[in-house]
């Protein structure tokens, strides 16, 4: 461990000397998290072959080869293993991946690239690109309610720099080559690339047009534009930002109506939840094909028969509210599951309160998009 810290400090000094403007996330604690278990110094030699295409410090010159500098080490390892086992395919990279047959070597190689300064973008080339950049920025930050495009920032972090807290599932995108980003987004969309967990990126890219993809790739690959007064066009798009309710439903996660939104031991809704339910109504208006299931749950105290009854009554009560707001009955199914599926510990008071809830879920009917969700 002591040895590790020393090498990291050495690399950091190197990085600060060469870096004119290092990304704010390049501090020892973040670099440490990115590196993971490997040894970056050993990895430098072991990655000689990789450096041929991906650049000596992971900043490749050609856009055919993705930048790896400052990428999460776990993400790099995952990709190499998946090129090896066929979950991801690329004629060039698949062959090369086969040459890494020792898992310790892979740890070290990945640690070396991860220890480098976070990849940085290139300047915007002209006015037309600036327009695309701003469009991409809006889409990245806010999504698009009309097309159902997600907010990328939720998973890929600010400016595409990844999530700071050991969230190595989500690759760093900010500063990556534009052409490479376009290729990956298109590959996800056409299911050429399918190694994303739970089909996350497939579900996202099916909602993107080729123009959206180019705008997003422009935003992510260019140096950040200093924030000035909001552009009129930008604020118009921001007005259609995806609300939390929309985002949750689109991501195939439940909108939870917690116990505190019902009168004690009753199915009667409190007015404070109406705003959220109105968002659900708005969602249903915007998505005429969408259907919902409402499932009530209880804690495990008392008789299961009563629990089942109350959980159903609460789901029905939410349904009645939506019906009153003109969502047609055929689009909503309500059921009660009593104490099934607890999401918290029934032994504690706060746990039991969490378990007493109604979940609103989108019924995913785009058959192509159905994959297992965790
Ligand atoms: C001959 C050129 C070449 C060499 C050498 C090479 N790569 Fe690659 N690598 C590629 C190409 C091309 C891609 C892009 C594949 C695609 O478009 O899907 C790639 C993609 C990757 C990715 C995916 C990056 C991402 O952001 O998803 C990783 C990780 C990677 N390479 C690691 C390595 C490692 C580690 C080595 C050394 C063992 C290596 N590569 C050597 C050409 C090369
Ligand atoms: C729900 C979380 C989530 C959201 C939202 C999300 N992504 Fe991703 N994205 C992922 C995951 C997970 C991966 C890594 C897949 C893998 O392991 O191969 C990924 C991978 C990518 C890659 C490939 C990176 C590389 O180096 O090859 C690109 C490009 C990308 N996402 C762009 C976007 C854009 C643009 C958006 C918004 C339109 C977006 N993502 C929204 C989860 C998400």
**What's the CA gap between 87 and 191, in Å, rounded?**
12
From atom 18 of ligand 2, which residue's Cα is the shortest distance away? 196
**Which of 66, 70, 195 has most ligand 1 atoms within 8 Å of CB, for mutation?**
66
Q: Residue 273's CB: how many other CB atoms inside 10 A?
A: 17
- Please report, for residues 121, 236, 312, the alpha-carbon distance to residue 155 in angstroms, rounded to integers and kept in the order given: 20, 24, 34
Burial of 300 (0-12, 13-18, 19+ CB in 10 A): middle
Which ligand lies nearest the alpha carbon of 60?
1
Are the C-beta atoms of residues 177 and 205 closer than 8 Å to each other? no
Give the integer Cα–Cα distance in Å for 141 and 151: 6
Whether the CB-CB separation of 175 and 116 falls below 8 Å is answered with: no
Please state, in angstroms and as integers, the Cα–Cα distance from residue 372 to each residue in 187, 208, 345, 361, following that order.
Answer: 20, 22, 25, 15
Q: Which two tokens stand for residue 55?
A: 């650049």
Residue 29 has phi, psi (to 5 degrees) of: -70, -40
pLDDT digits (tens, 9 = 90+) for 261-303: 999 989 999 999 999 999 899 888 877 778 999 999 999 998 9
Nearest atom, ligand 1, residue 109 CA: 35
CA distance 158 to 153: 6
Q: How far is the CA of 181 from the centre of ligand 2 (A)?
A: 10
Quick one: tokens of 215? 């705008």
Note the ligand closest to the C-alpha atom of 162: 2
The residue among 80, 86, 82, 85 whose CA lies nearest residue 105 is 80
Q: What is the pLDDT of residues 160-202, one digit of tens each?
A: 988 766 556 789 999 999 999 999 999 999 999 999 988 889 9
Say yes or no: CB of residue 336 within 6 Å of ligand 2: no
Closest-CA residue, ligand 2 atom 30, reads 185
Confidence of residue 242 (pLDDT cuts 50, 70, 90): low
Ligand 1 centre and the CA of 15: distance in Å?
Answer: 23
- Ligand nearest to the Cα of 94, by number: 1
Q: What is each CA distance from 189 to 200, 209, 282, in whole angstroms?
A: 11, 10, 27
pLDDT in tens, 192-239: 999 998 888 999 999 999 999 999 999 999 998 765 544 444 444 444
Measure 205 CA to ligand 2 centroid, in angstroms.
9
Distance (Å, rounded) from C-alpha 219 to C-alpha 149?
Answer: 16
Which range is least confidently modeled, 12-26, 220-234, 279-293, 304-318? 12-26
């Amino acid at each position: 461990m002591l040895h590790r810290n020393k090498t990291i400090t050495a690399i950091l000094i190197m990085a600060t000397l060469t870096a004119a403007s290092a990304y704010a996330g390049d501090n020892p604690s973040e670099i440490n998290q990115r590196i993971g278990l490997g040894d970056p110094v050993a990895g430098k030699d072991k990655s000689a072959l990789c450096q041929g295409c991906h650049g000596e410090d992971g900043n490749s010159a050609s856009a055919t080869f993705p930048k790896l500098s400052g990428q999460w080490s776990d993400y790099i390892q995952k990709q190499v293993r998946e090129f090896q086992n066929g979950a991801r395919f690329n004629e060039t990279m698949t062959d090369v991946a086969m040459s890494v047959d020792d898992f310790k070597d892979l740890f070290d190689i990945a640690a070396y690239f991860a220890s480098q300064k976070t990849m940085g973008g290139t300047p915007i080339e002209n006015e037309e690109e600036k327009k695309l950049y701003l469009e991409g920025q809006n889409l990245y930050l806010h999504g698009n309610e009309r097309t159902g495009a997600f907010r990328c920032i939720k998973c890929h972090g600010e400016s595409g720099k990844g999530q700071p807290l050991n969230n190595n599932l989500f690759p760093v995108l900010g500063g990556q080559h534009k052409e490479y980003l376009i290729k990956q987004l298109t590959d996800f969309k056409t299911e050429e690339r399918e190694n994303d967990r739970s089909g996350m990126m497939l579900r996202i890219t099916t909602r993107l047009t080729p123009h959206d993809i180019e705008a997003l790739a422009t935003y992510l690959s260019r140096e950040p534009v200093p924030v000035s007064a909001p552009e009129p066009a930008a604020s118009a798009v921001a007005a259609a930002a995806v609300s939390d309710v929309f985002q949750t439903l689109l991501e195939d996660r439940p909108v939870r109506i917690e116990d505190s939104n019902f009168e004690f031991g009753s199915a009667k809704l409190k007015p404070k939840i109406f705003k959220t339910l109105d968002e659900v109504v708005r969602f249903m208006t915007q998505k005429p094909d969408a259907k919902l299931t409402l499932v009530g749950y209880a804690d495990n105290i008392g008789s299961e028969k009563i629990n089942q009854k109350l959980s159903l009554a609460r789901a029905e009560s939410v349904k009645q509210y939506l019906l009153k707001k003109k969502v047609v009955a055929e689009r909503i199914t309500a059921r009660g599951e009593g104490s099934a599926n607890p999401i918290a510990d029934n032994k504690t008071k706060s746990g039991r309160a969490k378990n007493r809830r109604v979940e609103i879920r989108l019924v995913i009917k785009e058959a192509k998009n159905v994959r297992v969700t965790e």
